[in-house]
Structure 1
Amino acid sequence: MECALKDRRVLVVGRGSGIAQAITHAVRTAGAEVVVAGRDRDKLAASYDDPGITAEFLDITDDASIGTFASRVGHLDHVVSTASARARGALPQLQRTDLLLSLNTKLLGPLMLAKHLTPHMGGNGDSSFVLFSGVHAFKAKVGYLGVGITNGAVDFLTRSLAVEVAPIRVNAVSPGVIDTGAWDAMGEDGKRQYFQQVSAANPVGRIGTIDDIAQAAIFAMTNSFMTGVTLKIDGGEPLT
């Protein structure tokens, strides 16, 4: 994949760690200039020591912030949105505010990014959006109702937006269980047991890595004959 994105300019929205950070490094290795954007610009800037990576402020839940960002960021070739706000919990525990934040961050935020950023992108099929869905869009599980409906909506948005903004391409990545640090709250023993359980059930026999997801994102950006597709990078979890 080295130099597959040579001289391209890529926006990665999200935190300066985990999947977003892995994608940023992969994109740089592939030859692109990267703009990283999120609500904590200083923390983002401190996460990278590379003159080819610049940090910008962006609140994906605020249309004024998106509009201001679009007016100053200039030309972009690819946009990757990894931002999320998970509304986990079984039905009795779900709160409307958490559900709205989940949808606002992972669904409506990327939609409004497309509205404001497409005028700054090329229209020859070499430009794209990469959104993020997730395994629970395709496998219902108690405790993940809010996550599932958000991710399912992103899957539908991917297909609809691919038609709306064509020839700019729109694809999504749908990760399974990935060791990103998101599970650290379970404690070392709890996380290890959970990962062992998922690995034993997955057809591929393991959980995912951030590099698995980063390479899928690169593929989505560089395959110019693919649009409206959700890449299920989940170890086959929905099959079990």
Structure 2
Amino acid sequence: MTVSITGKKLLIVGGSSGIARQLAEDASGQGASVVLAGRRPVDVPGVTAARVDLADESSIRELAAEVGPLDYLVSLAADHANGPVGELDRDAVHRAFDAKVVGPILLAKHLAPQLREGGAILLFSGVAAWRPSPGLAVMATTNGAVSFLARALAVELAPIRVNALSPGIVDSGSWDRMGADRDGFFEEVATGNPARRVGRPEDIASAALLALTNPFLTGTTLHVDGGGRIA
């Protein structure tokens, strides 16, 4: 059994990604009232834009006051600090943890009291936590922390449901910076995972809506990675 998202209010934090846009469009298309918030608010037709900086608690407090009562909260924010451990910048590492771990804790602090009965929180982890590779130590650690944070919040905030979603490699636009190397990378990923393709934003958005609306799902991590973590 799942609950219809029609008439529900959904706040999505981390609004600059293709996945966030897809989720906002899909939820709005199903009759939800959607607020898409980020440091650089994105304009999506039919969706309300808001600004928030997860490294600034006053910004989160202001967002909570602006949004008011709601049903669902999703955090997709990320700020990467990739590179060899010996070359990592301390401030960049702190920003990565602010976006992925500390920020979501503060979102729960200020917004959980505003969630209506049946409400849910969804945090975004990632396959790097289960398939670490050189240069991605911070990404692996923050994504792993998200999974444990979802479990802890599910217990502390019950009956509010809290889950994590761990995408694999998704053609969301974030890989476009690779230029001509992108297609070869996607082919390599597709060849190496059981699904034999990379993910699409709609794959992740549909799983996110499931996590939000299934009333018996809490304290778990959904792996939507084409089997990438087991390949």
Answer whether TM exceeds 0.5 for this pair. yes
Equivalent residues of 1:94, 1:146 under 8 A apart: no
In structure 2, distance between residues paired with 1:210 and 1:99: 27
Unaligned runs of 5+ in 1: none
- 1:111: which partner in 2? 105
Whether the 8 Å contact between 2:25 and 2:44 is mirrored in structure 1 is no
Which residue among 204, 210, 222 is the counterpart of 1:219? 210
Q: How does the TM-score come out when normalised to structure 2? A: 0.95
After superposition, where does 1:30-109 map in structure 2 within 5 Å?
A: 30-41=30-41, 44=42, 47-50=43-46, 53-109=47-103
Matched position secondary structure for 2:97: helix
Match of 1:177 in 2: 169
**Cα distance in 1 between the residues matched to 2:221 and 2:230:** 16
Provide the residue aligned with 2:225 in structure 1. Answer: 234
Question: For residues 142 and 56 of structure 1, what CA distance do their matches in structure 2 show?
Answer: 36
- From 109, 112, 130, the counterpart of 1:138: 130
The amino acid of 2:90's aligned partner reads: R
Contact conserved, 2:17 with 2:174, CA < 8 A, in 1?
no
Report the AA paired with residue 21 of structure 1.
R
Aligned partners of 1:135, 1:66: CA distance in 2, in Å? Answer: 27
8 Å contact kept, 1:4–1:31: no
Task: Give the distance between the partners of 1:4 and 1:200, measured in 2 at CA.
Answer: 36
Mapped to 1, the partners of 2:205 and 2:140 lie a distance apart of 22
Amino acid at match of 1:203: P
Partner of 2:182, secondary structure, is helix
TM-score (normalizing by structure 1): 0.92
Q: Once the two structures are aligned, what percentage of the paired residues are identical?
A: 43
Letter in 2 for 1:74: G
Segments of structure 2 that go 5 or more residues without pairing to the other structure are none
